[in-house]
Structure 1
Amino acid sequence: MNKQEFADIIFGDKPEKRAKWFELFKDPVFVPKWNVTLEQTREDAYQMLKKVTDAKIVSVTDFLHDPTNIFTAHEFLGQVNPSTGTKFTVQFNLFGGTVVGLHTERHKYLFPKIDNLSVIGCFCLTELGYGNNAVKMETTSTYDDSKKEFIVHTPTVLSQKYWITNSVCHANYAIVFGQTIVKDKNEGVNAFLVRIRDEKGQVMPGVKIVEMGQKLGLNGVDNGALYFDKVRIPRENMLNKYADVDESGKFHSDTKNIPSRFFKVTERLVSGRLCIASLAMGGTRSCLYIGIKYAMQRMGVGESGLSDTPIFKYQLQQNAILPLLARSIALNISHNRTKQIFANPQGHEHELLMMCCIDKCLVVWNFDKVITTCRERSGGQGYLACNRFGDYLALAHAGMTAEGDNRVLMIKIAKDMMTNIGSKKSALPAMQFCPKNQIPQFHDITSLETLLDLLKFREIYNFNSLVQQIQHKTKTEKKPQFNVLMFEVSDIIQNLSTSYGERQAMQFCIDKLAQISHVPTKQTFELIFRIYGIDSVLRESGFYLSEGVVSAQAVKNAHGSLIKLIKDLAVITPDIIENMNVPVHALHTPIAGDYVKYNEEPYFGEVVNAKL
């Protein structure tokens, strides 16, 4: 394959950006320290963030003209330091992106301050009692006509703003979401800029910040809980793109429906899902590099009885890791296409939210599987903090919850599918081959065209099954639709959204394949995409057999093909992992380098000054 072409396709952004990030990561500030205090861990994460902003290679205004640059930054930080990546996503997407997304002229002064960290922000949406159903949050922002100010207040324990990144140590501003009370009328949730620390770093009067302490991981992130006790802010601190209160105290909004307005003012959660997916995609590539690189140098017993065989040569190792490598690359291609659509959604406006949701779900769940498998297949070495799998695992688990619980997002995807197809904005995918008369006769179902058709069939089947069950339970059994969705058809909803995402990923992969002209590179990607497709179909072989869509012989043949294709992929895996845009020099991971040399001296699990 053409290694540079392969790397550029995986990168999914302007190639010249890669060199800038690789150069930045040579700075010693990015060398991780493990046996340090909580305070030091947080300070290290902040200093890394400061290096990124000082380099001026990313700006919050990129959302206006180059949003892919924001996602690229997330991918690199997800590889190098998940805590810094998390602080970055709050500063540049949730806080900064919300300022950009909801600003009017009076807020533009904040843009350069966000970029240079003179304004460090946090995003106060989640409440202790309202991690979901945030539209019903208890925090209020009441307009005082006499002083032309809003009064921000968290009236109960359940209304405290919870899990607020950047709040304990570094933030001086917060975007606070609250029920907007104007002339005794609740106008719904809006966003307000609230100063939480003064110029000397002291917490502002009426603001209480509670330390949340040690977490499962990502302890470089300073999460806190915030209370606001009747904190007054100027009228102009309302982020007023979609709603405003004028000087006479009158509320204005072109969006009259309060729930619709809520989704507009919280729109950064949509880009946030791509940001989380980007962090996870970067981390996935690093995990695969670490796990496979170690397997290629770690010796196990060979035919001679000596330790002379790299464990990567074992079929056990290849069959565990390489299908995940293929799935990760397929999801990478799909992720890149989703980023492109986000930047230019024309023609996809009705399905952009679905795309961002499924991208986050599939990429983060795959990240979790990659980490667990690579950790296990690395044995005891994978358990050391300095070999990074624990750090990545914490990021994956944070990603499953942040910017929307994955399983809840799957419900949103299924509901949007039914709405879009019902209103004829979208249609179910059309199959090339008949699932009853043609595909069951195939002995080989491993071509990309047939695999795509099988993924389409599962999506169509799940959609029709869901619609039929909802109609029967609501119309015949007279059950409320909410109860049906939440208590009776959960498994079908999850299956439908998964099948939609896996089919869409395969379609994006085939589309990308058509754009590749260099034959060896094209053959490499085709091999990878076939493994992804076969693995996806075989995981659901019981479904396909029960529906009579494939024969038992075809499934048996597909399994044999998968084993052979994995062996073919193993041959070129060394070239693949070296061209997945991993800044190897910034991993500082013993097992990804010369782990034997590292163990010549006692470093006590640290990598500072170690020989890697």
Structure 2
Amino acid sequence: MTDPDVYVHAANSPAAGEPRIDVDRVTDMLMGTWADVRRQARELVKDPALWRDDSLGMAAHRERVLAQLHVLVDNKAVHRAFPKRLGGGDDHGGNIAGFEELVLADPSLQIKSGVQWGLFGAAILHLGTDEHHSAWLPGAMDMSIPGAFAMTEIGHGSDVASIGTTATYDPETEEFVINTPFRAAWKDYLGNAAKDGIAATVFAQLITNGVNHGVHCFYVPIRDENGQLLPGVSSEDDGLKGGLNGIDNGRLAFDHVRVPRTNLLNKYGDVAADGTYSSPIASPGRRFFTMLGTLVQGRVSLDGAASWASAVGLTIAITYATQRRQFDQGSGTDETVLLDYGKHQRRLLPRLATTYAQIFAHDEFLKKFDGVFSGRAASDDDRQDLETLAAALKPLSTWHALDTLQECREACGGSGFMFENRFTGLRADLDIYATFEGDNNILLQLVGKRLLTEYGQQVAGKDPKQLAAFAVGQTAGKVFHGAGLRRLGQAVADFGSTARSVELGLRGDDQHELLQERVQQMVADIAMRMRGGKKLSAEESFALFSENQTELMEAARAHGELLQWEAFTDALATAPDDGTREVLTWVRDLFGLGLIEKHLAWYIINGRLSTQRAASVSRYIDRLCARLRPHALDLIGAFAYEPEHLRAPIASGIEQVRQDEARAYYATLRASGEAPIDEKVLHKQQKQAAKSAARS
């Protein structure tokens, strides 16, 4: 493919004397803590053997992706998180960073890899003990044991605690009996279940001595060495999906399938030979969330993969927008480059700013994850914060990716609709990111509940006057790197005064205060409306929660957006020079003001902005877009994608070649004197001639 930089027009670059980013150093900033791992992964995915082949049907696509997993094994690309004694690297953050980059090759490859090593293998690693690790991890690592992660059920998607599959202990044989009691308890949407998997980590209600001890995980063989289902195991193929058709998603059911007692992955709960249950965690609820929390890496990786997929789409669309011309401004003038139109800037540049914010936030998130899973910072508070961050950030980045890819598609017109230019395929594959590894709305609900819990702990036992002085804020650094969650903002004199009309500027500190106070006010309002809910009946309590559910989730979204803004601001301090810092500050401001613009109604209703100040937000965003227009190619250049990563003809430079050819053709035609006269020009000449004749 042609290098697009060859065709960069001078108008696409900052003027002499203007600040400009150091592209290479910004690349380092974006690639973050595990930049070396990301670069290694990007070199690997330059191999065409790992690319998606759009000509393949579903069956052939599945076979190709299965073969690609073996390529990853051969290149030691997927074992970083596993123990060193088994050939891994004990590098949890680096493992996720490298895994995310597989989205460049084929999202089906990324997700099937995630099923094998990030779910199936990770369940054995994090829920099992050394005995389980030695028995099954080598096979999971080298693909001799392809595995499914059997948690989700048809009837209980996100409600894992209520799954119907049972594992009943039989002390006479020292076996667990795995059973699917009804159709809604079938495990569904499982990668490797339809064809490739020979074992599964099955989540089921553990029952022993007549007591249900809640959801636990079991290692269950499902096929023999010839790929035939084992007795009692049923499987169905999910068939053609809206995307990710390189993965053999399917359903599993178990008809009183027996497995040895030792197949219980018993790190957090064990059953003795006589059926006695024991656990290092006494509370069933805390035990359940601890077990699920060990599998949070799926949400972590989706946050990063979605953010980088957005970067791919924007790189293609902005490259095209700096080359494609449409509509002249009068006879004899050049047609206008798309990105010179204010509306086109508004479509793409704010989404570029959001992508920057999400990538910076993701690196902080990934460092938090690595701290917890390495054991350096693995307290209960650290784990709870990690789970809350995952639930807050994954919805924002996955929704943003879908929105961005769609807008990029439309911004490229018919060319964007061509499958070869990546938008339609990427969007179809990433569509499911919004609902797997936790439905985005359910995740935001979890965040909202955590915010309410923190708020309740702050105001517990206080009288109304004391409630007026609640909450002192924490920085994003505290949330990402230490224990505890944001304390919801600054202290206020009383609740009534928080609705005062304030005229704030639009600088960084002002953006921070506006974004922060929105979270604070929303949580406080919901808490006040829901106070006393514990005294209500179950039906009345549910009705009260349901009435406030939408606003609770919106508060959670606002909390996640604030964390992203703060992470971007923290990143500015690492800029290598003043010019880079100035341009990136404009990008940060575009992100922050975009959030404020999106919620202008709330800011006006709640007295945070006057109508005059609110109106200036949109005008200033327009100015920022125009200011950033000359920097657009530098900003996407910092993503450091090469032609083998993009694989989109419209980002290859051919559009610039076409445009230059057309312009040269018309210039030559005009110079030859043989160009036909435009009818409008002819009419104008005739009118002028008629006027001259009349005067004479």
Q: TM-score, normalised to structure 2's length?
A: 0.81
Post-superposition Cα deviations, 1:104-124, rounded to whole Å, max 9, x if no partner, equal 111122333222211211111
Aligned position for 2:96: 71
Quote how far apart the aligned CAs of 1:419 are.
Answer: 1.4
Kept in 2: contact 1:163–1:224 (CA 8 A): yes
**560-569 or 575-584, larger mean C-alpha shift:** 575-584
Letter in 2 for 1:89: G
Aligned position for 2:590: 531
SS in 2 for 1:289: helix
Kept in 1: contact 2:454–2:487 (CA 8 A): no
1:417 aligns with 2:442: no
**161-170 or 552-561, larger mean C-alpha shift:** 552-561
Paired with 2:295 and 2:132, the residues of 1 have a C-alpha distance of 20
Letter in 1 for 2:404: V
- Residue 303 and residue 158 in structure 1: after superposition, are their counterparts in 2 closer, same or farther (change >3 A)? same
Quote how far apart the aligned CAs of 1:433 are.
Answer: 11
Paired with 2:442 and 2:501, the residues of 1 have a C-alpha distance of 34
Q: How does 1:40-439 map to 2 (within 5 A)?
A: 40-59=60-79, 61-62=81-82, 65-109=90-134, 110-304=136-330, 308-345=335-372, 346=377, 348-424=382-458, 426=485, 428-431=487-490
Aligned position for 1:464: 524
Paired with 1:6 and 1:207, the residues of 2 have a C-alpha distance of 52
Paired with 1:307 and 1:475, the residues of 2 have a C-alpha distance of 72
SS in 1 for 2:213: strand
Paired with 2:216 and 2:195, the residues of 1 have a C-alpha distance of 26
Task: Find the partner of 2:513 among 453, 474, 477.
Answer: 453
Paired with 1:58 and 1:585, the residues of 2 have a C-alpha distance of 21
Paired with 2:576 and 2:46, the residues of 1 have a C-alpha distance of 34
Task: Find the partner of 1:19 among 29, 39, 47.
Answer: 39
Kept in 1: contact 2:158–2:442 (CA 8 A): no
Kept in 2: contact 1:506–1:533 (CA 8 A): yes
Letter in 2 for 1:496: A
Paired with 1:420 and 1:52, the residues of 2 have a C-alpha distance of 43
SS in 1 for 2:204: strand
- Which residues of structure 1 form unaligned runs of 5+? 600-612
**209-218 or 514-523, larger mean C-alpha shift:** 514-523
Paired with 1:344 and 1:546, the residues of 2 have a C-alpha distance of 41
Paired with 1:323 and 1:255, the residues of 2 have a C-alpha distance of 46
Q: How does 1:489-504 map to 2 (within 5 A)?
A: 489-504=548-563
Quote how far apart the aligned CAs of 1:473 are.
Answer: 6.0
Paired with 1:591 and 1:462, the residues of 2 have a C-alpha distance of 44
Quote how far apart the aligned CAs of 1:594 are.
Answer: 4.1
Quote how far apart the aligned CAs of 1:514 are.
Answer: 2.4
Letter in 1 for 2:350: P
Quote how far apart the aligned CAs of 1:359 are.
Answer: 0.9
Letter in 1 for 2:512: L
- Residue 112 and residue 257 in structure 1: after superposition, are their counterparts in 2 closer, same or farther (change >3 A)? same
**260-269 or 316-325, larger mean C-alpha shift:** 260-269
Quote how far apart the aligned CAs of 1:194 are.
Answer: 0.8
- Residue 573 and residue 205 in structure 1: after superposition, are their counterparts in 2 closer, same or farther (change >3 A)? same
Paired with 1:292 and 1:327, the residues of 2 have a C-alpha distance of 15
Kept in 2: contact 1:60–1:97 (CA 8 A): no
Task: Find the partner of 1:544 among 585, 588, 603.
Answer: 603
Quote how far apart the aligned CAs of 1:323 are.
Answer: 0.4
Paired with 1:244 and 1:478, the residues of 2 have a C-alpha distance of 33
Kept in 2: contact 1:439–1:549 (CA 8 A): yes
Task: Find the partner of 2:569 among 494, 497, 510.
Answer: 510
SS in 2 for 1:65: coil
Kept in 1: contact 2:489–2:516 (CA 8 A): yes
How many residues end up aligned between the 2 structures?
Answer: 596
Aligned alpha-carbon RMSD (Å) = 2.5
- Residue 187 and residue 436 in structure 1: after superposition, are their counterparts in 2 closer, same or farther (change >3 A)? closer
Paired with 2:46 and 2:537, the residues of 1 have a C-alpha distance of 65
SS in 1 for 2:296: helix
- Which residues of structure 2 form unaligned runs of 5+? 1-20, 84-88, 459-483, 659-696
Post-superposition Cα deviations, 1:158-209, rounded to whole Å, max 9, x if no partner, equal 1110111121222111000111122332222110011112222222222111
Letter in 2 for 1:335: H
SS in 2 for 1:217: coil
SS in 1 for 2:268: coil
Post-superposition Cα deviations, 1:526-559, rounded to whole Å, max 9, x if no partner, equal 1111000111101111111122222222222222
Aligned position for 2:665: none
Task: Find the partner of 2:637 among 578, 599, 603.
Answer: 578
- Residue 253 and residue 598 in structure 1: after superposition, are their counterparts in 2 closer, same or farther (change >3 A)? farther
Quote how far apart the aligned CAs of 1:421 are.
Answer: 3.1
Quote how far apart the aligned CAs of 1:440 are.
Answer: 2.3
Quote how far apart the aligned CAs of 1:515 are.
Answer: 3.2
**396-405 or 74-83, larger mean C-alpha shift:** 74-83
Post-superposition Cα deviations, 1:220-274, rounded to whole Å, max 9, x if no partner, equal 1111011112222122211010011223332221223333322222224422211
- Residue 447 and residue 186 in structure 1: after superposition, are their counterparts in 2 closer, same or farther (change >3 A)? same
**129-138 or 562-571, larger mean C-alpha shift:** 129-138
Post-superposition Cα deviations, 1:374-429, rounded to whole Å, max 9, x if no partner, equal 01111111112222212222233211110111111111111111212323454534
Quote how far apart the aligned CAs of 1:458 are.
Answer: 0.6
Paired with 2:179 and 2:261, the residues of 1 have a C-alpha distance of 15
Q: Which has the larger radius of gyration?
A: 2
Kept in 2: contact 1:433–1:450 (CA 8 A): no
Quote how far apart the aligned CAs of 1:147 are.
Answer: 2.0
Aligned position for 1:606: none
SS in 1 for 2:322: helix
Kept in 2: contact 1:466–1:489 (CA 8 A): yes
Paired with 1:491 and 1:432, the residues of 2 have a C-alpha distance of 26
Letter in 2 for 1:363: S
Paired with 1:9 and 1:540, the residues of 2 have a C-alpha distance of 29
- Residue 473 and residue 441 in structure 1: after superposition, are their counterparts in 2 closer, same or farther (change >3 A)? same
Aligned position for 1:605: none
Quote how far apart the aligned CAs of 1:447 are.
Answer: 0.7
SS in 1 for 2:502: helix
Paired with 1:298 and 1:166, the residues of 2 have a C-alpha distance of 43
Paired with 1:426 and 1:206, the residues of 2 have a C-alpha distance of 47
Kept in 1: contact 2:166–2:180 (CA 8 A): yes
SS in 2 for 1:286: helix
Paired with 1:478 and 1:46, the residues of 2 have a C-alpha distance of 49
**247-256 or 158-167, larger mean C-alpha shift:** 247-256
Kept in 2: contact 1:30–1:586 (CA 8 A): no
Quote how far apart the aligned CAs of 1:307 are.
Answer: 6.6
Paired with 2:556 and 2:325, the residues of 1 have a C-alpha distance of 42
- Residue 452 and residue 348 in structure 1: after superposition, are their counterparts in 2 closer, same or farther (change >3 A)? farther
Paired with 2:64 and 2:486, the residues of 1 have a C-alpha distance of 49
Query: Percent same amino acid at aligned positions?
Result: 28
- Residue 44 and residue 296 in structure 1: after superposition, are their counterparts in 2 closer, same or farther (change >3 A)? farther
Quote how far apart the aligned CAs of 1:144 are.
Answer: 2.1
SS in 1 for 2:517: helix
- Residue 41 and residue 307 in structure 1: after superposition, are their counterparts in 2 closer, same or farther (change >3 A)? farther
**530-539 or 164-173, larger mean C-alpha shift:** 164-173
- Residue 226 and residue 60 in structure 1: after superposition, are their counterparts in 2 closer, same or farther (change >3 A)? farther
Paired with 1:276 and 1:370, the residues of 2 have a C-alpha distance of 16
1:440 aligns with 2:467: no
Paired with 1:484 and 1:437, the residues of 2 have a C-alpha distance of 24
Quote how far apart the aligned CAs of 1:479 are.
Answer: 6.7
- Residue 143 and residue 566 in structure 1: after superposition, are their counterparts in 2 closer, same or farther (change >3 A)? same
Paired with 2:319 and 2:432, the residues of 1 have a C-alpha distance of 26
SS in 1 for 2:531: helix
Paired with 1:433 and 1:514, the residues of 2 have a C-alpha distance of 29
